[in-house]
Chain A
Amino acid sequence: DTEVTQTPKHLVMGMTNKKSLKCEQHMGHRAMYWYKQKAKKPPELMFVYSYEKLSINESVPSRFSPECPNSSLLNLHLHALQPEDSALYLCASSQDGGLGEAFFGQGTRLTVV
């Protein structure tokens, strides 16, 4: 099983809403990631979790709050977003130590209105 599952697939939220994106993998990977991708652009790294601990925050605004409750789950909590935060949010996972390829989920298409 090389599947990374993201929910929801689509999300429309207002600027005052609070919502969460969820990501799950059962490959035993201990590194998990959030990437943000704008239309016609490459993905950009937001956060890295290694063994359930946040190891990298790429200067992401605090209105994005990641959480890794266990080795299989990764959440991204959203609050007070701006319209420019509308994008495809991709979750990925990879083996211990970052070796091997990263497997990505199908992404959540987020629209902030």
Chain B
Amino acid sequence: AQKITQTQPGMFVQEKEAVTLDCTYDTSDPSYGLFWYKQPSSGEMIFLIYQGSYDQQNATEGRYSLNFQKARKSANLVISASQLGDSAMYFCAMRDILTGGGNKLTFGTGTQLKVEL
């Protein structure tokens, strides 16, 4: 069974600083996908970044980058130049492709990030 662990229930960062949100995972599948989502208080789950298990380079999307360390089974999210609008819950998730079609996202418990002035 797949498992995602986020050990930081809450994090604070000052505006314009960088912050790292931790995520470790456990799976026996050689092929897997890792995702980060942002969920503001409004409820919408916003896709941020994706890393495939066979990707040679760490994924980057604007101010978001994923520090992928396959041997350590970690996929930490780095947010550079934090903004007040980055305050939200952040979920790490792993994809399990289903034989019947579609996939199942297994989520970690989330990290609540607050950006301060």
Which residues does A use to contact B, with CB under 8 Å?
A: 30-33, 40-43, 45, 48-51, 53, 55-56, 88, 90, 92, 94, 97-107, 109
Q: List 9 A-B contacts (CB under 8 A).
A: A31-B102, A48-B103, A53-B101, A88-B43, A94-B102, A97-B97, A98-B97, A101-B35, A102-B105
Nearest A residue to B45, CB-CB: A104
Q: Find out whether the CB atom of A98 lies under 8 angstroms from the CB atom of B43.
A: no
Note all chain B residues with C-beta closer than 8 A to A40.
110
Interchain CA distance A97-B97 in the complex, whole Å:
8
Interchain CA distance A97-B95 in the complex, whole Å:
12
B12 interface contact, C-beta 8 A: no
Q: How many residues of B contact A (CB 8 A)?
A: 23
Which residues does B use to contact A, with CB under 8 Å?
A: 35, 37, 42-47, 50, 91, 95, 97-98, 100-105, 107-110
Interchain CA distance A103-B91 in the complex, whole Å:
14
Note all chain A residues with C-beta closer than 8 A to B98.
48, 50, 55-56, 98
Q: Find out whether the CB atom of A101 lies under 8 angstroms from the CB atom of B107.
A: no
Please indicate which of the listed interface residues B43, B47, B104 has the most CB atoms of chain A within 10 Å of its own CB. B43
Note all chain A residues with C-beta closer than 8 A to B110.
40, 42
Interchain CA distance A100-B44 in the complex, whole Å:
18
CB distance from B100 to the nearest CB of A (A): 3
Q: Find out whether the CB atom of B100 lies under 8 angstroms from the CB atom of A56.
A: yes
Q: Find out whether the CB atom of A56 lies under 8 angstroms from the CB atom of B50.
A: no
Given contacts A42-B108, A42-B110, A99-B97, contact A94 B103 (CB under 8 A): yes
Q: Find out whether the CB atom of A56 lies under 8 angstroms from the CB atom of B102.
A: yes
Interchain CA distance A55-B109 in the complex, whole Å:
26
Note all chain A residues with C-beta closer than 8 A to B95.
98
